[in-house]
Amino acid sequence: MQIKLFGAAKTVTGSCYSLVTAKGSILIDCGMFQGSKKETALNYGRFGFNPKDYSVLLLTHAHLDHCGRIPKLVKAGFKGRIYCTSATKDLAHIIMLDSAKINWHDIRLENKRRQRLGQPLREPMYTEKDVENAMKLFNVIEYDKVIQISENISATFYDAGHILGSSFIQVEVTEKNKKKIIVFSGDVGQENTPIIKNLLWRQDTPTNS
């Protein structure tokens, strides 16, 4: 088993993890880089992997830094299944459409500047059509139910209490008759927020000894 980080390493955005085994390869999140110009420029570069090599993407939640590059991933050749909760699917759709509109506007202004300077024009990272193509790959799952990803990989989504539909994901991998458990936390917790379960441990919470 091999785990690689293609985002959210030495920075908090651009969440994207790769888990590769002899019998299956999956991604966890594919978010947008946010922050400085240097960080946001990473969104326009190539992925550090071949999207066609992966059959599944597990999405922890619908914040842009976790889902924002999914349409680009699909545009680049990913044709697998995307698993997430129902609320995450609905929110991700809205957020990615909004991102496509903002990106189109930003690129239009950037290309006006480039045209004046005689520089090559840029294309949007993705369009609203790319978002709709990505949505066709979404599969809704429920909390606390095991889903079989491949012959040797299973996953379970648990309520992370961060935003509607947010999850932390427990992935089980069996290799050479040994089972390993990896937990991808996404973002966990959001204290005292309406309609979100308060999952944070508090000092004043009674405990049983």
- For the chain, give the mean pLDDT: 91
For residue 10, the model assigns a pLDDT of 80
Average the pLDDT over 71-84 and give the result: 98
When mean pLDDT is compared across 7-11, 75-79, 99-103, 194-198, the lowest value belongs to: 194-198
Share of the chain above pLDDT 70, in %: 91
For residue 37, the model assigns a pLDDT of 86
For residue 192, the model assigns a pLDDT of 67
Residue 147: Cβ-neighbour burial (10 angstroms; 0-12, 13-18, 19+): middle
CATH superfamily, domain at 2-184: Ribonuclease Z/Hydroxyacylglutathione hydrolase-like (3.60.15.10)
Tell me the pairing of strands 81-85 and 56-58. parallel
Cα–Cα dist 185/169, whole Å: 6
Cα–Cα dist 53/6, whole Å: 15
The residues spanned by each domain of the chain are 2-184
Residue whose tokens read 């966890």:
28
Q: Letter for the amino acid at 165?
A: G
Q: Which two tokens stand for residue 103?
A: 């990106």
Please report the beta strands in 16-135, taking only residues with DSSP state E, as ranges in sequence order.
17-21, 24-28, 56-58, 81-85
Question: Above 90 in pLDDT, residue 201?
Answer: no
Between the alpha carbon of residue 126 and those of residues 7, 36, 82, the distances in Å are 19, 20, 18
Confidence of residue 208 (pLDDT cuts 50, 70, 90): very low
Average the pLDDT over 139-166 and give the result: 95
pTM: 0.89
Residue 133 parent element (H or E): helix 128-135
